[in-house]
C-alpha cells in the first residue's frame, strides 16, 4: 500500500511536518522510516509504542 500521512513528526532536515510513515522497519530493529514530502528525504526515528498503536489503528480504518 501507499505510505500513511503522519502528523506530529517533523523532518530533521527541513523542519516540515509534511511527513509520511514509510516503513515500520528501519536499518535497526528499534527505528521506523519516514519520508518528507517537502525536501523528499527519507529519515529514521526511534520506534515507540505510540507509533505502533497509531499504525495499527490507521491500518484498521483503511478501505
CATH number at residue 52: 2.20.25
Cell 500521512 maps to which residue? 5
Instruction: Give the residue-averaged pLDDT of 13-42.
Output: 92
Pairing of strands 42-46, 19-23: unpaired
pLDDT at 5 over 60: no
Q: How many whole angstroms separate alpha carbon 39 and alpha carbon 53?
A: 27
Backbone angle region of 43, left / alpha / beta, with phi > 0 → left and psi within -120 to 50 → alpha: beta
Q: What is the pLDDT of residues 29-58, one digit of tens each?
A: 889 999 999 999 999 998 877 777 777 777
Report the number of distinct structural domains present in the chain. 1
Place of cell 519516514: 34
Residue 15: which domain range?
Answer: 4-60
Q: For residue 47, how many other CB atoms are within 10 A of its CB?
A: 17
Report percent pLDDT > 90 for the chain: 41
Amino acid at each position: 500500500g501507499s505510505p500513511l500521512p503522519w502528523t506530529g513528526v517533523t523532518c530533521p532536515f527541513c523542519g516540515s511536518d509534511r511527513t509520511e510513515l514509510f516503513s515500520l522497519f528501519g536499518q535497526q530493529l528499534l527505528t521506523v522510516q519516514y519520508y518528507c514530502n517537502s525536501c523528499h528525504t527519507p529519515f529514521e526515528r526511534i520506534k515507540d509504542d505510540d507509533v505502533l498503536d497509531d499504525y495499527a489503528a490507521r491500518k484498521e480504518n483503511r478501505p
